[in-house]
Amino acid sequence: MEKRVTFRGWWLPLLLIAPQVIISAVFFFYPAGQAIWQSLFIPDPFGLSAQFVGFGNFEYLLGDKYYRTSFLTTAIFSILVTLCSMVPALFLAVIADRLIKGSGVYRTMLIWPYAVAPAVAGVLWLFMFNTRVGVVSWYLGQLGYDWNHVLNGGEAMGLVVVASAWGRISYNFLFFFAALQSVPRSVIEAAAIDGAHFWRRFFTIVLPMLSPTAFFLLVVNVVYAFFETFGVIHTITSGGPQQSTTILVYKVFADGFVGQDLGSSSAQSVILLIVVGVLTVIQFKYVEKRVHY
C-alpha cells in the first residue's frame, strides 16, 4: 500500500511551501502583473506621469510591420535553435553510449559547454567570426568566401543560431544519455539476434523509448530559444543588421530600455507571455499524443 504523510496542523505545510510561494510571487506574479498594468499606459521616459490608453499599445504593435517581422524572425530562430541543439545532442549521446574505453572522458568534455553563460558564449563566437581578427572568418577568406555578419543578415542569423545551440547541446546530451542508459539491453540484444541492424534497432526500439525525454527537451528548448538567448544576440549582433536577428524578447529590451517606450515594451512582454503559453499548450495537446510512456 502507498504510504502517505499526514500533518497534525496546518502551519507546517504552509511553512514548507512558503519559500516557493514567496519566490514565485516576487519574481513572477508581481512582475507579470506590473507588465499587464503598464501595458495599458503610455508613461513618460522619466516615469513621472502616465496616460491611460487601454489597448492602444497592442493596436499599435499589431499595426507595426517591424514587430510583425520579429514574429517571423523569432519563429525561424526558435526552430533552428531547437533542431541544431537536439539533433547533434542525440547523435553524441548515441555515440557516447556505445563507447567503452574512455567514455567518462568524452562525457565530461561534452558536458563542459553547458557551464558557459550565453553572453560569454556569444563573445567567444563573435571573436572567432570577427571580420577583422576572427580565425574562422580568416580561413573562410582563404577559401574565397567573404564573411561579414555585420552586413549580411543571413550570416548574422546563422551565427546567433550556432552560438545559441552550441551551449544547449550539452544540456540536451545529459538527458538523452540518461534516457539511453534506461533502455533495456535485453530488448536491443533480442532485436540484434533477430537480424535487425543498428539503425533499424534505433528507429524501432530506442527512439520510441526516448520520446518522453525528447518531448520534454522540445518544450524546454523552445522556451530557451524565446527567452534565454538574449545574451547571445546582444553580444553578437545587437539585433542587427537591419533587425534581421531581432527576436521578440530582444525587441522588448530595445524598445523598453533603449527607446524608453515602456508602454509598448510592457505590451510586448504580455504578448510574448501569451505566445509562449499557447505554444506550450499546443505542444502538450498535439505533440504529446505521439509520445510513448
Q: What residues does each domain of the chain span?
A: 56-290
Beta-carbon contacts of 235 under 8 Å, excluding residues fewer than 6 positions away, are 119, 122, 123, 126
193 pLDDT higher than 90: no
Is domain 56-290 annotated with CATH 1.10.3720.10? yes
**What number of residues does the chain have?**
293
Query: Which uninterrupted H or E stretch holds 39?
Result: none
- Three cell numbers at 38? 503598464
> What is the per-residue pLDDT for 57?
92
Q: Looking at beta carbons, which pairs linking 52-57 to residues 24 or more positions away fall under 8 Å? A: 53/263, 57/263, 57/264, 57/266, 57/267
| Preceding amide of 241 cis, omega within 30 | yes
> What is the per-residue pLDDT for 1?
53
Q: What is the pLDDT of residues 74-112, one digit of tens each?
A: 999 999 999 999 999 999 888 888 766 666 777 777 778
Beta-carbon contacts of 107 under 8 Å, excluding residues fewer than 6 positions away, are 96, 177
Q: Which DSSP category does 183 fall into?
A: S
Residue 171, CA distances (Å) to 123, 162, 165, 217, 289 in order: 20, 15, 10, 9, 24
Q: Which of 5-9, 63-67, 173-177 has the lowest mean pLDDT?
A: 5-9
Q: What is the mean pLDDT of residues 36-63?
A: 86
Q: What is the pLDDT of residues 105-144, one digit of tens each?
A: 777 777 788 888 888 999 999 999 998 889 999 999 999 9
> What is the per-residue pLDDT for 288?
64
- Percentage of residues of the chain with pLDDT beyond 70: 94
234 pLDDT band, cuts 50/70/90, is very high
Q: What is the pLDDT of residues 157-186, one digit of tens each?
A: 999 999 999 989 999 998 998 898 888 888
